[in-house]
Amino acid sequence: MQEKIDVLFDMESNDPDDVMTLCMLSTHPRVNLRAVTCMPGGAEQVGLIHDVLKRTEHEPIPVGACNPDFEKNCVSGFHHKWLGNWKAIKAEQKGYEVINEMIQKYPKLNILTGGPLKNFRHLDPALKIHRWVGQGGFAGDNIVPPSLRLAKFAGMKTCPTFNFNGDPKTALKLLESPNIQTRHLVSKNLCHGVVYNRKVHEWMHPHRDRSAGVQLIYKGMDKYLARKEKKFHDPLAACALIEPEIFKFKEVELYRSGGKWGSREQEDSRTFISVSVNEPRFWEVLVGL
């Protein structure tokens, strides 16, 4: 049995795969989910997070919000079709407060980010982060060999990415920080190549009862697939956190130009961006095999 890793998950909730990642992390046999922070952090969103943690028997853990007074509803209608209704709960702590506390409490804390990085604006500059796994960034033709490129990104060296563009100043600050020991980035182009479809759903069927979290993912995708397939961005990043060996990474420096992000090879940057993944093993890690 491998030692469990301590994890803080920073998420948003417009896209269902963030909440599915929360389901996964809260019951995964190789993860100690220590805290959750969210963007932007309204009461409906925080209530959703507490509801999932209750369903997976993972309460109580700290749940922080970037803006606890945010009034706009940032939860999609699909979440209610999937999970029903829940009680809105105002967060008791700001996201950055929870992050600072967890870094101090757990020296080998792994931070997983699946949304804009505004909760990291006010990190204590004296604190050191063991590992950051971020869903974001782009690996272009100068990084990805021809055999691994997706046709939709062919000929591109830069591309906009939602999460990093949500707060580019903070993203660049984290990418350049000497206080982060290791950065693993799961790039936009790789995420677009990993899709939960009917074939995956059939494979998931015999594994659907492995945990309460996997049950919720299966139930959600059973409903989602009635409309379309789903790119699994944040679960992919979560598996990079749990078992990075199934990914091929290149050490790079990330840069931003004209609202787009790119990568160039750079030794000793301690920043690694994904180039490929062993997809069959990814699905196994997802369900806890």
Note the helical H segments in the chain: 16-27, 43-55, 77-83, 95-105, 162-165, 168-176, 188-191, 198-204, 212-224, 233-242, 279-287
φ and ψ at 131, to 5 degrees?
Answer: -160, 135
What confidence tens digit (pLDDT) does each residue in 138-163 have? 999 999 999 999 999 999 999 999 99
CA trace torsion 169, 170, 176, 179 (10° rounding): 160
Residue 1 has pLDDT above 70, yes or no: no
What confidence tens digit (pLDDT) does each residue in 28-87 have? 999 999 999 999 999 999 999 999 999 999 989 999 999 999 999 899 999 999 999 999
Supply the DSSP symbol for 231. E
Cα dist from 87 to 12, 75, 80, 82, 251, whole Å: 18, 13, 12, 15, 44
Supply the DSSP symbol for 140. -
φ and ψ at 257, to 5 degrees?
Answer: -145, 120
Instruction: Report all structural domains of the chain as residue ranges with CATH numbers, in order of start.
Output: 5-287 (3.90.245.10)
Q: How confident is the model at residue 14 (pLDDT cuts 50, 70, 90)?
A: confident
List of residues 6+ apart from 86 with CB closer than 8 A = 47, 48, 50, 51
